[in-house]
Structure 1
Amino acid sequence: MRMPLWLWSLTGVAIIAVALYAAVLAGWVFSTPPVPDSVFCTQDAMQCPDGSYVGRTGPNCEFVCPVTTTPTTPTQVTVEAQIGKSATALGVDILPLEVVEDSRCPVDVQCVWAGRVSVSVRIHSAMGESTMTFTPGTPVTTEAQTITLLDVKPSPYAGVTIKQSQYVFIFQIEKRK
């Protein structure tokens, strides 16, 4: 028995439709970009320095802790103080009381000896209170700080008397380690 012509036509159309569908599907499969290799990290966790917990992440399965910045407090400060006017820094209060000696060579005179200057200072901190005499460049150590008189202003001039109220003292306060 022979197949009717219309059945042959229908079979031909079906074969062509399947072939077109296969061609479209093949074009779509080969035209999509390949998926990169997937990485699967283990589910362990780590505690970061800030107290939070993180899991592994990224292509290398690394632990990534959040970056935290801690505010830094200075360990060394320079302050200015005057007779009767205190300066406070790093937990210490410096109050110059009086100039004990000022034999510095005047700026407008040539001297053989540079002279010296010293000042009586009251130091107040959490450790207590004391009175000390400072000279420039000589550090004085307390329980928690090292205090150095860096400079005394104004510089003397020949024939000009510096009043106690005109003196400015520059101190460096440094926390002891």
Structure 2
Amino acid sequence: MIARVILPVLCLGLSACASLPDDRLDDWAKFGERARIGDVLVRPDRLVEDSRCPMNARCVWAGRVVIDATVWANGARRSVQLESNKPLALRSGELSIAEIRPDSFMTNASPRRADYNFRSSYKRR
């Protein structure tokens, strides 16, 4: 009888000790979250530039997004700057921003920092 009561309580207590990762570790990440792309981790840290053309404007240039990011690759951590239209060369491959959300916005409503979500891609050499 005691075993029937104590065992479930013990299991419940031990499950509370299990820690969950602090990041989602999928291929999408918001600022401050890490994303896993193969064996590379990327964490977008700060928006440097978002010069993309709003959907209700006429632009000569499509624009770009530039972010400061932290990358964990090949056993090392690096601070890098990623541009939406330019892959970054790493020792073992190329890292790039594959997709950015929101993908479009209006001239009078620029995205807030919390609205941004990035998907990266990595090509091994």
TM-score, normalised by the number of residues in structure 1? 0.51
- Percentage identity across aligned positions? 25
**Counterpart AA for 1:93:** L
**Counterpart AA for 1:125:** A
Q: Match of 1:137?
A: 85
What is the alpha-carbon distance in structure 2 between the residues aligned to residue 116 and residue 137 of structure 1?
7
Match of 1:126 among 69, 74, 82: 74
Max Rg structure: 1
Match of 2:96 among 107, 124, 148: 148
Q: CA deviation at 1:89?
A: 2.7
What is the alpha-carbon distance in structure 2 between the residues aligned to residue 89 and residue 114 of structure 1?
27
Contact persistence 1:104–1:115 (CA under 8 A): yes
Match of 2:113 among 154, 164, 173: 164
Q: CA deviation at 1:113?
A: 2.5
Q: CA deviation at 1:99?
A: 0.9
Unpaired runs of 5+ residues, structure 1, are 1-77
What is the alpha-carbon distance in structure 2 between the residues aligned to residue 114 and residue 90 of structure 1?
30
Q: Match of 2:34?
A: 86
Q: CA deviation at 1:174?
A: 1.8
Please list, as runs of the form range in 1=range in 2, the aligned pairs for 1:18-167 lying within 5 A after superposition: 79-154=27-102, 155-167=104-116
**Counterpart AA for 2:124:** K
Contact persistence 1:90–1:175 (CA under 8 A): no
Moved over 4 A (4+): none
Unpaired runs of 5+ residues, structure 2, are 1-25
Q: Compare the two structures and name the one with the higher strand fraction.
A: 2
More contact order relative to length (CA 8 Å, sep ≥ 6): 2
The one-character-per-residue Cα deviations of 1:14-61 (angstroms, maximum 9, x if unpaired) are xxxxxxxxxxxxxxxxxxxxxxxxxxxxxxxxxxxxxxxxxxxxxxxx
Contact persistence 2:37–2:120 (CA under 8 A): no
Q: How many residues align?
A: 99
What is the alpha-carbon distance in structure 1 between the residues aligned to residue 54 and residue 78 of structure 2?
32
TM-score, normalised by the number of residues in structure 2? 0.71
Residues 1:112 and 1:89: Cα distance change in structure 2 (over 3 Å) = closer
**Counterpart AA for 1:80:** W
Contact persistence 2:45–2:70 (CA under 8 A): yes
Give me the CA root mean square deviation: 1.7
Contact persistence 1:80–1:168 (CA under 8 A): yes
